[in-house]
Amino acid sequence: MPVEVVADVPVLVAALSGIGPGAVAFPATPPRSGQPEVDALGVFAYPDKNFALNMSDEIVEGVVVTLRDTHGLAWSAGQVDRAIEVLSGLAAATSGGLITPEFSMQIPTTVGLSAIQGIRAAASHELGNPRVVVTSDPAALRLDPFAPRGIPHPPDQPIAILSPAAFTAAAERARWKLRPA
């Protein structure tokens, strides 16, 4: 069972908007780029089965509308399709999936919409444990570790809510501990 990872829309958009040394360093975990979101996406470049990238329909929609927004980044339709192909390709390659978010759950109103989408996805009944949401939302980060209420969820399996940098560091530490003797 892999660590179930959900990255929120700002993390995914930022990861697609910076250049990382992923391909150069393959198949090792890429070296740090100085851009935490790019590094967090780099965790999924390493070909093990320990971290599964999952996305929900509302996260995919959020990435598409943000990249396409003509008043913002204004990506071409073709490039957006390509971006979704690589994200879903990475997700599938890490044994992640397109999951159904959990809506009947109480989340503090101080948390931003993108992070709420991330937490809803991470609380999906379709995922195993452990789970982690990667976000930069300060209010969401203060909830870590988050025990969902109002839905069936094992109380001893709270959802970790980590910043991109903290997630990358934790993934690196875990892989270091798992290294062959």
Partner 1 sequence: MTVIDRAYSQERVAYGRQDGTIWSMRTSSTVGFAVDGRDRARLDHLALVFGGGNRSAFLREAIGVMERFELVQEVSRVQVYGASRLAAAGLTREDIPALVERALTDPDPAAKAQAKRTVADLASHWGPPVREPSTDEDQITGVWAEVLDAAQVVEVRASDGSGEASVVVPAVTKRTVRSAKSAATASVGLRSLADDQ
User: Within positions 17 to 76, which residues make up the interface with partner 1, using CB under 8 A?
Assistant: 17-20, 22-23, 26-27, 35, 37-38, 41, 45, 47, 50-52, 54, 57, 60-62, 64-75
* Residue 114 in the binding site for partner 1 (CB under 8 A): yes
Q: Which two three-digit tokens encode residue 73?
A: 């980044």
Q: Report how far apart the first and last C-alpha atoms of the chain are (Å, whole number).
A: 22
* Residue 85 in the binding site for partner 1 (CB under 8 A): yes
**Rule CB under 8 A: which of 162-181 touch partner 1?**
170, 173-174, 177-178
| Cβ distance to partner 1 smaller for residue 110 or 173 | 173
* Residue 139 in the binding site for partner 1 (CB under 8 A): no
* Residue 84 in the binding site for partner 1 (CB under 8 A): yes
| Cβ distance to partner 1 smaller for residue 75 or 119 | 75
* Residue 134 in the binding site for partner 1 (CB under 8 A): no
* Residue 14 in the binding site for partner 1 (CB under 8 A): yes
The identity of residue 3, as a single letter, is V
Q: How many CA atoms lie within 13 A of 99 on its CB side?
A: 28
Taking the complex as a whole, the smallest distance from the CB of residue 171 to partner 1 amounts, in Å, to 8
Whether the CB-CB separation of 162 and 133 falls below 8 Å is answered with yes
Longest pairwise C-alpha distance within the chain:
53
Choice from 108, 129, 150, 151 touching partner 1 (CB under 8 A):
129
Q: What residues does 54 pair with on adjacent strands?
A: 6
Q: Which two three-digit tokens encode residue 6?
A: 């959900």
Q: What residues does 132 pair with on adjacent strands?
A: 5, 160
Question: Phi, psi at residue 166, to the nearest 5°?
Answer: -65, -40
Q: Which of 98, 123, 2 has its CA nearest to residue 51? A: 2
Taking the complex as a whole, the smallest distance from the CB of residue 160 to partner 1 amounts, in Å, to 6
Taking the complex as a whole, the smallest distance from the CB of residue 33 to partner 1 amounts, in Å, to 10
Taking the complex as a whole, the smallest distance from the CB of residue 42 to partner 1 amounts, in Å, to 8
DSSP state of 45: G
